[in-house]
């Protein structure tokens, strides 16, 4: 049961909650998923660099200097909405999804055309790094090393499938392979979205795929877990 939950590509919070409900080892599930996200953040950018030459998003600094007070107002609204959504909106990573939906609506409605200032992008990257590192608070070195092997195996398999699938779809449909790698990768929604933003990728495309991944894992996990338990009992 614990191994199955560790291997599922769901969100860390959702998988820990499922492990509590199913009587699995919550600590081990949390550690493996935290390591999964950390390893994905470290490995995915390196793989992207091997697939294509990627430069940091250009043009943001010049556009940011021309932001009007109205643009800053809408940016503030998006930030505030994300903060208020945390713990109140039942969506995967609401602090990311809600501002993204509001921003998409504002841009589609022609109310604004702002680009996120580079200072905000950098700050988000720093805080995400701090947050990922903070997930290991209170974890002993022994527990970390015990879970590291499982995490490396899970990430290796998931990244192999993700990159292979991304390159296949890109070849068949002529889509952007970098965006597909980020969309299919086993990293967290927020982490992969900010990587997409930092290289000028399609954040909405990446975000929607990760929302679907988390929701699909939540739907399928309760259906698959009884089968795993039954198979183990029969064996």
Average pLDDT value for the chain: 81
Quote the CA–CA distance of 134 and 128 in Å, as a whole number.
Answer: 10
How do residues 43-74 score in pLDDT, each as one tens digit? 998 888 888 776 655 544 444 556 888 888 99
**Domain spans of the chain?**
2-62+132-186+214-234
**pLDDT at residue number 235:** 58
DSSP, res 56: P
How do residues 151-205 score in pLDDT, each as one tens digit? 888 889 999 999 999 999 999 998 889 999 999 998 888 888 888 888 888 888 9
Share of the chain above pLDDT 70, in %: 89
Query: Rounded to 10 degrees, what is the CA torsion of 132, 133, 134, 137?
Result: 130
Q: Is the pLDDT of residue 4 over 70?
A: yes
Write out the two tokens for 15.
Answer: 């998988």
**Who contacts 152 (Cβ-Cβ below 8 Å, separation ≥6)?**
35, 39
């Amino acid at each position: 049961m614990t191994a199955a939950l560790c291997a599922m590509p769901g969100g860390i919070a959702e998988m820990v909650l499922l492990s509590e409900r199913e009587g699995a080892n919550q600590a081990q599930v949390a550690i493996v998923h935290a390591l999964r996200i950390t390893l994905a953040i470290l490995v995915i950018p390196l793989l992207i660099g091997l697939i294509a030459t990627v430069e940091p998003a250009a043009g943001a600094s010049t556009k940011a200097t021309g932001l009007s007070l109205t643009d800053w107002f809408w940016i503030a609204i998006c930030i505030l909405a994300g903060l208020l959504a945390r713990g109140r909106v039942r969506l995967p990573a609401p602090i990311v999804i809600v501002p993204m939906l509001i921003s998409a609506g504002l841009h589609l409605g022609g109310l604004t055309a702002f680009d996120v200032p580079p200072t905000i992008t950098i700050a988000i990257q720093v805080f995400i790094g701090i947050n990922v590192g903070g997930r290991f608070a209170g974890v002993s070195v022994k527990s970390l090393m015990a879970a590291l092997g499982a995490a490396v195996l899970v990430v290796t398999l998931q990244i192999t499938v993700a990159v292979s699938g991304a390159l296949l779809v890109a070849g068949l449909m002529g889509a952007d392979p970098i965006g597909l790698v980020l969309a299919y990768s086993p990293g967290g929604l927020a982490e992969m979205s900010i990587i997409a933003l930092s290289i000028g990728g399609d954040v909405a495309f990446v975000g929607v795929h990760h929302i679907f991944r988390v929701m699909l894992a939540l739907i399928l996990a309760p259906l698959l877990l009884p089968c795993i338990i039954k198979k183990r009992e029969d064996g």
